[in-house]
Amino acid sequence: MEQPWEADPEMMPAMKNAMGSSSDVAAARIREYLESKNNVLLNIAITGESGSGKSSFLNAFRDVEDDSEDAAPTGVKETTLEVKEYPHPNYPNIIFSDLPGIGTTKFPAKKYLKRVGFKKFDFFIIISADRFRENDAKLAKEIKKMGKNFYFVRSKVDHNLRDEQRKKDFSQEKTLAQIRDDCVKSLKDQGVESPQVFLVSNHDIHLYDFPHLRETLERDLPEHKRDALLLSSPNIFPDIIEKKKKVFRRQIWGLTALSGVVAAVPVPGLSVGVDLALLVGAVTRYVTGFGLNVASLKRTASRTGIPYDELKAVLTSQLAAEHITHDLIMKVVLQVSSRAALMAAEEASRFIPIVGIPTSMALSAVTTYKFLKLFLDLLAEDAHRVSDKVLNKNK
């Protein structure tokens, strides 16, 4: 069996704890490991003056429509220093914190940061719909003094382009360059060194600098938080789908090893039950991560204007747009291979003294590996189909 990926070292405690456990306990150990991968806390602070498009940007990053129940409200004038938190719909450990614009508070930058709880944020995004002003520059400089990263985002560039298109000599490239140059100049004039400004449209996140912003945020984060940001990123980007696939691949060998370890515990029925629990947990993560669960697909339909049934029609895997259960996994397993026969042979082999245990471990590891890899590949392909449908909707 090939070994193209390293096992996740965090899997080792789960493997040790599973040995000698009942099927319920062993399955719980697996769930605990899988859930731990979803529990890395990431808190993103987003600030800007009223009318900057801050709330729409926050919703776009969460892949939520502005009129959704769990969306940050748009068009609301800020009057207080209240920080509002909006968790990602699929990953509640990823929090987008809506901070009032510093101009609303009338506080100096240092006091403002203290009042909003500076320490809990991993980084800051400062948004403006036109030029960045003195307060924005002061805030950025104070954030830098305190050792955290900040990013300038110029929103609503699609509005500017639409206005400029009326001119005879319109050039999108020149217009975007002019917007960027004006923002950079205003920040430099306010004493910000080497400012980088990302131009975005909150309604077309695949255009302009949104992909570059996402890549920059990912690169600047500590390694253990990169996967959290990545998994919460919109699946409209083909490169994001491939990066997510690599994250899930890294976990396959750890899960495969756990399946083999549990198979070595001579309790009839244990390894079969654990294999199914393991597959259900892993596949649920794949479906959620690729945005192929029903709730995510409906949000994509709402955001893009493509009917849900049309998005669902491009899916080929039986695991997409479904609630992942033991019965569904077993149904798919029985359809794609002779897994049932392998499981039966495994249960018998585990009671062959001494020699039987290593044989069983190999069977369990091989079958677990093959199905995890197969399901991951199938769901990644479906994610690409949805992405293609969205990106080509106007073609």
* CATH architecture observed for domain 41-232: 3-Layer(aba) Sandwich (3.40)
Query: Which pLDDT band holds residue 67 (cuts at 50, 70, 90)?
Result: confident
Ordered by start, the domain boundaries in the chain are: 10-38+235-394, 41-232
The pTM assigned to this predicted structure is: 0.79
User: What average pLDDT does the segment 57-74 reach?
Assistant: 85
Give the type of residue at 246.
Answer: K
Determine the number of helices (DSSP H) and then strands (DSSP E) in the chain.
Answer: 17, 6
Amino acid 52: pLDDT: 86
What pLDDT digit, counting tens, does each position of 215-271 carry? Answer: 999 999 998 899 899 988 888 889 999 999 998 998 887 677 666 555 554 444 445
Count of all residues that appear for the chain in the document = 395
Amino acid 277: pLDDT: 76
What pLDDT digit, counting tens, does each position of 273-313 carry? Answer: 446 778 888 899 999 999 999 999 999 998 888 999 999 99
Question: Two tokens at 317?
Answer: 């895997």
What pLDDT digit, counting tens, does each position of 28-58 carry? Answer: 666 666 666 668 899 999 998 878 888 889 9
Amino acid 355: pLDDT: 44
Q: Which helix (H) or strand (E) holds 379?
A: helix 356-391
Query: Which pLDDT band holds residue 395 (cuts at 50, 70, 90)?
Result: low
Amino acid 337: pLDDT: 59
Amino acid 64: pLDDT: 85
How many whole angstroms separate alpha carbon 328 and alpha carbon 320?
11
Greater pLDDT, 8 or 184:
184
Task: Point out the least confidently predicted range of 135-144, 157-166, 274-283, 314-323.
Answer: 274-283
Q: What is the mean pLDDT of the chain?
A: 81
Q: What percentage of the chain reaches a pLDDT higher than 70? A: 75
Q: Which residue in 156, 160, 123 sits closest to 55, CA to CA?
A: 156
Residues forming a β-bridge with 151: 125
Residue 175 CA neighbour count, 13 Å, CB half: 18
How many whole angstroms separate alpha carbon 377 and alpha carbon 379?
6
Greater pLDDT, 94 or 10:
94
What pLDDT digit, counting tens, does each position of 345-370 carry? Answer: 555 454 444 444 454 444 466 777 88
